[in-house]
Structure 1
Amino acid sequence: MGTRYQAHRAIGATRITPDKWHAARDAVKDVVDRFGALVESADPQAMATADWSVMDTAAHVAAVAWLNTAAVASDDAPLPMPGIREHIATATVDTIGTSLNSALLHAYTERDPGKVVGTLRTSIDEILRLTAAADPTRTLSWLGGSRIPLAGLVAHLTNELLLHGRDIARAVDLPWHLPDEYAALFFELFLIEIARNGAGHLLDDDRRVHQGRIAVEFRSDYTSPVTMVLDTGDVWIEEPSRDNDVRVHFKPATLNLVLFHRVPRVRAALTGSLRVWGRRPWLLAPFLRKVRLP
């Protein structure tokens, strides 16, 4: 990424408000209860993904939450698992699913359902305790030299619980609800804020970069309208304007499933959960080749 991120200078208006901060804290408490009950009722050996069992998946989420207890304390706090810091520092979107996640599962070896859920609950309780009186806009060092606010870290944890809870529930044929209002918090407090505060080298890759500006406006019934701009590799946030190239209207839960490769874009479009138009809608494809999630 460019020097825009290396300077860690927030661009565009923050979406963090006191109401959304309280909502993010309530959401993670709600979803961790549902997730814990799901894990403890599921077959631990069932395959939740092509590579992870139910307990591998739950252990991954617990390890992420445990690491985040150090992140909210300070950028220099010792990590609870050895050998992870170097993977965090060098992470890109393309290596999170291989290098970092593999290192996490190797470092966190517990697979007993009760103990894994216990670690998860204790870690989230500790995060909420440590941040009870904190400024939710305070930024933290995150993966690949990126910066996220406290509110974004909490919203990201909720999204981890929701997405991986869905993986587990589908594996054992149990219902699982992804509330749009919770997914909207991930979009506004994490995705938009990481673009505001600096993505570091998270989006770095060897792909050919689209030359020139692409402005994509995002709207939903649960979020404030916002424009994300990609310009020859740099990404930042602006307010919507008439010269936006692409306009996207989305249901937040569906957008998250699309971005994390759980639902194809075509299926989301056919159901009306993702609508794309604008003066140059074809530019959404090169935009998403660069602005992407693991």
Structure 2
Amino acid sequence: MAAVSEERWRAARTALAAQTDRFADLVRDAPPDAMATADWSVADTLAHVHSLAWYYVCLVDREHPPLPVPGLSAQLPGTTVDTVADFNDVLLRHLTEREPQPLLDRLRADVKQLLAICEGRRPDETVPWLGGARVPLAGLCAHLVNELLIHGHDVARATGRPWPVPGADAALFLELFLAGVVRHGYGRLIDGGAPPSERRVVVEFRSAYAPPVRFLLHRGRVSFADPDARPDARIDHDPGTLNLMMFGRVSRARAVLTGRVRVSGRRPWLLPAFLRKFRTPS
């Protein structure tokens, strides 16, 4: 897969600024005690999103005040998609502020600082992340965009507000973050899932908002497939629906029945094994 262009790098930063403003406007008008998920109130959700923005500024600016979480650096390398919920719980136990306005002010300030630092740096410059993964700066911004979109969906659903998920911004998660950690190394991030197999599974993701991405699962590892490799399964998708499905907000059945996620190819029955490995927290 080609390196991140300056145009896509600019798109990621623009999307992060826009979705931060949009999320802040949504949360400002929401009751803080309303339950956004089974476990988190709107205020908890805001605290979680802010904790990520704070952490990401720390990754790009070593002089930034660290999160007040004892032993955090020791916990990060062992965190995987299956244990990230525990990591989030640790953060929220130590970050006790739940008043919306101070949290919104800090979220905006941290995102502004993150964007200012990224302005003069390369999109493929990497930082250490959960599970020993290496995330390029473009992927870091794309991941935070996705967090704003997913958790904005949670808050909007809890408060009866509309929350369209723009396809162009949602597409950045697969194009820049997921593809980015595959390119630069995902460490232990997706350990577990499907057991290693000699069978090669090639899956192609296609949308109207980004170039196709073709992945290979072989012997328990995910990499980019050769350009001439025939896909076993193709996923034509609306990026917003795909992301909501991957994070457990929309069922696979609903995503398929609405036509927003369409599966085709010569051996589509191999797709579940791929998705058991190439997965996100849900």
TM-score (normalised: structure 1): 0.91
Q: Distance in 2 between matches of 1:160 and 1:235?
A: 23
Q: Does 1:13 align with 2:26?
A: no
State the Cα distance separating 1:81 from its structure 2 match.
Answer: 2.5
State the Cα distance separating 1:159 from its structure 2 match.
Answer: 0.6
Query: Is the 1:146–1:199 Cα contact (8 Å) retained in structure 2?
Result: yes
Query: Is the 2:78–2:130 Cα contact (8 Å) retained in structure 1?
Result: yes
C-alpha distance after superposition, 1:169-189 (max 9, x if no partner): 110111112100001111101
3-state secondary structure, aligned to 2:209: coil
Q: Distance in 2 between matches of 1:86 and 1:64?
A: 17
Structure 2 gaps of 5+ residues are none
State the Cα distance separating 1:280 from its structure 2 match.
Answer: 0.9
> Cα–Cα, structure 1 residues 286 and 206, in superposed 2: closer, same or farther, change >3 Å?
closer
Name the residue aligned to 2:104. Answer: 117
Amino acid at match of 2:2: A
Amino acid at match of 1:182: D
Aligned alpha-carbon RMSD (Å): 1.6
Which among 237, 258, 274 is matched to residue 245 of structure 2? 258
C-alpha distance after superposition, 1:97-144 (max 9, x if no partner): 1x2011110121110000111111111011011111111111111111
> Cα–Cα, structure 1 residues 206 and 243, in superposed 2: closer, same or farther, change >3 Å?
closer
Q: Does 1:63 align with 2:57?
A: no
> Cα–Cα, structure 1 residues 207 and 274, in superposed 2: closer, same or farther, change >3 Å?
closer
Q: Distance in 1 between matches of 2:171 and 2:206?
A: 11
Amino acid at match of 1:247: R
Query: Is the 1:144–1:200 Cα contact (8 Å) retained in structure 2?
Result: yes
Q: Distance in 2 between matches of 1:207 and 1:78?
A: 39
Greater shift after overlay, 143-152 or 211-220?
211-220
C-alpha distance after superposition, 1:236-257 (max 9, x if no partner): 1135435221111111111101
Q: Distance in 1 between matches of 2:276 and 2:42?
A: 30
Name the residue aligned to 1:243. Answer: 230
Q: Distance in 2 between matches of 1:133 and 1:242?
A: 37
State the Cα distance separating 1:206 from its structure 2 match.
Answer: 6.9
3-state secondary structure, aligned to 1:205: coil
Q: Distance in 1 between matches of 2:193 and 2:205?
A: 27
Name the residue aligned to 1:85. Answer: 73
Q: Distance in 2 between matches of 1:225 and 1:273?
A: 16
Q: Does 1:155 align with 2:142?
A: yes
Query: Is the 2:43–2:100 Cα contact (8 Å) retained in structure 1?
Result: yes
Query: Is the 1:169–1:175 Cα contact (8 Å) retained in structure 2?
Result: yes
1:110-189 equivalences under 5 Å are 110-189=97-176
Name the residue aligned to 1:233. Answer: 220
3-state secondary structure, aligned to 1:43: coil
Which among 28, 31, 50 is matched to residue 16 of structure 2? 28
Query: Is the 1:55–1:111 Cα contact (8 Å) retained in structure 2?
Result: yes
C-alpha distance after superposition, 1:168-227 (max 9, x if no partner): 011011111210000111110101111111110011127533442111011111110121
Q: Distance in 2 between matches of 1:166 and 1:56?
A: 14
Which among 169, 184, 205 is matched to residue 218 of structure 1? 205
Query: Is the 1:248–1:275 Cα contact (8 Å) retained in structure 2?
Result: yes
> Cα–Cα, structure 1 residues 129 and 242, in superposed 2: closer, same or farther, change >3 Å?
closer
Calculate percent identity across the aligned residue pairs.
Answer: 46
Q: Distance in 2 between matches of 1:100 and 1:90?
A: 10
Structure having greater relative contact order (Cα 8 Å, sep ≥ 6): 1
Which among 17, 24, 28 is matched to residue 40 of structure 1? 28
Name the residue aligned to 1:101. Answer: 88
Greater shift after overlay, 158-167 or 209-218?
209-218
Name the residue aligned to 1:4. Answer: none
Q: Distance in 1 between matches of 2:48 and 2:157?
A: 17
Query: Is the 2:217–2:223 Cα contact (8 Å) retained in structure 1?
Result: yes
3-state secondary structure, aligned to 2:51: helix
Amino acid at match of 1:175: P
Query: Is the 1:72–1:127 Cα contact (8 Å) retained in structure 2?
Result: yes
C-alpha distance after superposition, 1:251-290 (max 9, x if no partner): 1111101111111111111111111111110010011011
TM-score (normalised: structure 2): 0.95
